[in-house]
């Protein structure tokens, strides 16, 4: 089975909404042979967790087409109207609050029949309580399906953070969410995790316990029966690669999140909200991993194709006396309307991106970022460029801070760092002045995140070999004069002759780890050893099937980033999947999607916690010293 999250989503949609009431209908109307095929209107009861999962996975029209006429929250059971002519689908997370609400609803049911689905493993005690509460025998079925996570793309998922935040044991909730994903994919994996991460040690231990304990319930048994090699769950800590989220990205999906922010596939623009759907938007699906130059070129072709098609089907052509041609033309109009809306949507997105690139002077900033981290110039030349940028009042404080962080991580020069901080604190060239949190991060960055040159990924030429250098926006998109796309990323200067695409020179650290695991590349494995010390845990069910031997190569790989994942890492996974020709399948996820601003905020919080911890230790030491002195005085 391939690791397709969209297949999982469709499978559970069918289970929830297409198989729910047939048996009930035929039982209730056994005298009528056609009753089983009768459509029965239904109510959908959700909790706060499954509401967000359902709204992300399924559209309102999908629900309506499957006879869902009303959606309510289970926590509002007291306010529900009694409608005994309707059946009810309950889809909730088996957490204590939702279970309690469900039990209260079953004691005084508002609907005729209940089809209850939990989105993760329910406890035995919960099922027993539910049976006791069902005094009216209204429950038709109780099933567990495994969808305790968010599906963003076919290769991208997010852990269910709502239950983690509300829990006294967030690590356990993360483990439950991941185990739900494993069960949905029908995988019982080897667990590999970065051994320098305390959080991942806890998470991997919880996962191992869940898999081993649920193997006794046959949940994880025989999941790998069709695979010659065991699947792998790879747990990575964001703190081991702080660089990837800092860098300005240059591919479409990543740029949307960087400049406009994607929240569970929704982008909030000044005038409206845009839903990004890989399944429903063919242009987005084909363009999400394109660099900015290729994206603009593709968008122009999309617009030109639309113009050509609509011109051929213009009102003048409706004068045709051929009824077949007239019908064919008229049936195309709804599709043209849909395309025009889609063009306007992507025009707004690309315009927003282009505005930010120009406003923040990111052609220059982005080039310098790549130059620093990928050794595209000498340190002395980079230092001079840094000073020029730091003395440019037009450059934002945040972009200056990002550059200083990259420089300090790469070169470890205290004198240069002190000079840069002085420039940042100079109000004549920096506005606004950096906050104390920002200054603390700059000073402690290399201490908080140990630098490994191998973790920087190194340079990697673009597969298409197309580089371009055009700083125009989209003003020419709908004119006869085309934007010079072929020059948009292409900088044929002597400074960058070693890199075909200066803006895509950097490759995330994940690339080395995947190369060593997937391709079993000994050279890549040696490279990644210094940056990713992986420990391995073997669930009992995996030991029984495969033994305790090391992997020759990986076929199915599920990646989880503790601390956040980026869309650039998703792009890398997509490229591996495409290059693998179905020899291996990889999906990636994390507990949040990061852009550079969100990552900076998380790092400010890390530094603040570290500072408070250090201060606490100092105070404890001072207190203990005073106590010892007092004791000594008493003795004397």
pLDDT above 70: residue 360: yes
- Determine the Cα–Cα distance for residues 512 and 533; give it in Å rounded to an integer: 12
Cβ–Cβ contacts within 10 Å for residue 446, how many?
A: 17
Read off the pLDDT of each residue in 447-470 and give the average, rounded to a whole number. 49
The predicted pLDDT at position 308 comes to: 86
Q: What is the pTM of this model?
A: 0.86
Please state whether 489 falls in left (phi above 0), alpha (psi between -120 and 50) or beta: alpha
Q: Which two tokens stand for residue 60?
A: 């309102």
Instruction: Give the residue with greater pLDDT, 481 vs 248.
Output: 248
The predicted pLDDT at position 612 comes to: 67
pLDDT above 70: residue 353: yes
- Determine the Cα–Cα distance for residues 3 and 241; give it in Å rounded to an integer: 25
Residues 6+ apart with CB under 8 A from 245: 238, 564, 566, 594, 595, 596, 598, 599
Label residue 31 by pLDDT band (50, 70, 90). Answer: very low
Give the rounded percent of residues in the chain with a pLDDT score beyond 90: 66
Lowest mean pLDDT: which of 201-205, 518-522, 580-584?
A: 518-522
Read off the pLDDT of each residue in 216-222 and give the average, rounded to a whole number. 72
The predicted pLDDT at position 609 comes to: 84
3, with CB counted inside 10 A (0-12, 13-18, 19+), is buried
Query: Is the peptide bond preceding residue 432 cis, with omega within 30 degrees of 0?
Result: yes
Eight-class DSSP state of 361:
T
Q: What is the pLDDT of residues 97-108, one digit of tens each?
A: 999 999 999 999
Residues 6+ apart with CB under 8 A from 167: 173
- Number of residues that make up the chain: 636
Write down the mean pLDDT value for the chain: 84
Give the rounded percent of residues in the chain with a pLDDT score beyond 70: 76
Q: Find the DSSP H helices in 66-217.
A: 96-107, 124-133, 161-166, 170-185, 198-215
The predicted pLDDT at position 619 comes to: 54
Nearest to 219 by CA among 192, 188, 191, 189: 188
Eight-class DSSP state of 524:
H
The predicted pLDDT at position 521 comes to: 53
Q: What are all long-range contacts of 222-226, with beta carbons under 8 Å and residues at least 24 apart?
A: 223/182, 223/183, 223/186, 223/187, 223/188, 223/541, 224/187, 224/188, 224/542, 224/545, 224/546, 226/1
The predicted pLDDT at position 83 comes to: 96
Torsion of CA 117, 123, 127, 129, to 10 degrees: -130
pLDDT above 70: residue 427: yes
- Determine the Cα–Cα distance for residues 220 and 234; give it in Å rounded to an integer: 18
- Determine the Cα–Cα distance for residues 631 and 220; give it in Å rounded to an integer: 60
The predicted pLDDT at position 553 comes to: 75
pLDDT above 50: residue 27: no
Strand residues in 377-519 grouped as ranges (E): none
Read off the pLDDT of each residue in 82-107 and give the average, rounded to a whole number. 97
Eight-class DSSP state of 321:
S
The predicted pLDDT at position 549 comes to: 62
Label residue 36 by pLDDT band (50, 70, 90). Answer: very low
Label residue 545 by pLDDT band (50, 70, 90). Answer: confident
User: Do 220 and 541 contact (CB within 8 A), yes or no?
Assistant: yes
């Amino acid at each position: 089975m391939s690791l397709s999250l969209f297949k999982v989503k469709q499978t559970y949609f069918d289970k929830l909404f297409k198989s729910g009431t047939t048996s009930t209908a035929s039982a209730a109307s056994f005298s009528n042979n056609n009753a089983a095929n009768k459509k029965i209107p239904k109510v959908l009861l959700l909790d706060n967790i499954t509401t967000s999962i359902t709204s992300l996975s399924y559209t309102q029209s999908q629900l309506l087409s499957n006879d869902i006429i009303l959606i309510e929250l289970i926590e509002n059971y007291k306010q529900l109207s009694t409608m005994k002519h309707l059946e009810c689908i309950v889809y909730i997370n088996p957490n204590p609050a939702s279970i309690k609400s469900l039990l209260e609803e079953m004691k005084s049911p508002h609907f005729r029949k209940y089809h209850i689905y939990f989105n993760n493993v329910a406890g035995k005690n919960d099922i027993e309580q539910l049976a006791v509460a069902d005094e009216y025998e209204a429950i038709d079925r109780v099933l567990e399906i495994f969808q305790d996570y968010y599906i963003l793309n076919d290769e991208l998922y997010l852990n269910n953070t709502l239950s983690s935040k509300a829990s006294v044991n967030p690590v356990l909730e993360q483990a439950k969410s991941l185990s739900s994903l494993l069960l949905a994919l029908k995988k019982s994996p080897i667990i590999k995790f970065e051994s320098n991460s305390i959080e991942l040690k806890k998470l991997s231990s919880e996962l191992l316990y869940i898999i081993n304990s649920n193997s006794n319930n046959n949940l994880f048994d025989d999941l790998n029966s069709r695979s010659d090699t065991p699947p792998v769950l790879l747990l990575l800590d964001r703190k081991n690669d702080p660089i990837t989220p800092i860098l300005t990205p240059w591919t479409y999906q990543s740029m949307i999140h960087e400049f406009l922010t994607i929240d569970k596939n929704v982008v909030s623009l000044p005038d409206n909200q845009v839903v990004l759907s890989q399944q429903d938007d063919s242009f987005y699906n084909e363009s999400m991993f394109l660099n900015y130059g290729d994206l603009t070129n593709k968008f122009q072709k999309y617009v030109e194709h639309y113009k050509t098609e609509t011109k051929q089907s213009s009102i003048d052509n409706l004068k045709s006396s051929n009824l077949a041609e007239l019908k064919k033309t008229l049936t195309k109009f709804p599709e043209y309307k849909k395309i025009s809306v889609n063009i306007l949507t992507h025009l707004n997105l690309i315009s927003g991106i282009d505005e930010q690139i120009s406003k923040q002077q990111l052609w220059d900033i982005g080039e310098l970022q790549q130059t620093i981290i990928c050794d595209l110039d000498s340190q002395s030349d980079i230092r001079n460029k840094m000073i020029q940028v730091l003395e440019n009042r037009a450059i934002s404080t945040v972009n200056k801070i990002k550059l200083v962080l990259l420089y300090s991580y790469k070169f470890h020069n205290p004198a240069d760092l002190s000079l840069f901080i002085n420039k940042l604190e100079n109000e004549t060239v920096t506005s606004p002045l950096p906050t104390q949190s920002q200054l603390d991060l700059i000073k402690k960055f290399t201490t908080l995140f140990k630098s490994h040159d191998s973790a920087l990924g190194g340079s990697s030429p673009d597969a298409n070999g197309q580089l371009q250098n055009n700083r125009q926006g989209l003003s020419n998109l709908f004119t006869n004069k085309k934007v010079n796309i072929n020059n948009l990323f292409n900088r044929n200067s002597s400074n960058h002759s070693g890199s075909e695409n200066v803006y895509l020179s950097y490759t995330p650290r994940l690339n080395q780890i995947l190369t060593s695991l997937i391709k079993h590349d000994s050279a890549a494995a040696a490279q990644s050893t210094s940056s990713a010390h992986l420990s391995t845990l073997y669930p009992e069910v995996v030991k029984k099937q495969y033994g305790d031997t090391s992997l020759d190569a990986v076929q199915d790989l599920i990646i989880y980033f503790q601390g956040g994942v980026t869309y650039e890492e998703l792009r890398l996974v997509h490229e591996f999947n495409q290059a693998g020709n179905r020899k291996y399948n990889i999906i990636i996820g994390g507990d949040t999607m990061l852009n550079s601003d969100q990552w900076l905020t998380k790092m400010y919080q890390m530094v603040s916690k570290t500072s408070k911890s250090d201060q606490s230790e100092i105070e404890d030491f001072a207190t203990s010293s005073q106590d010892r002195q007092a004791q000594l005085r008493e003795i004397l």
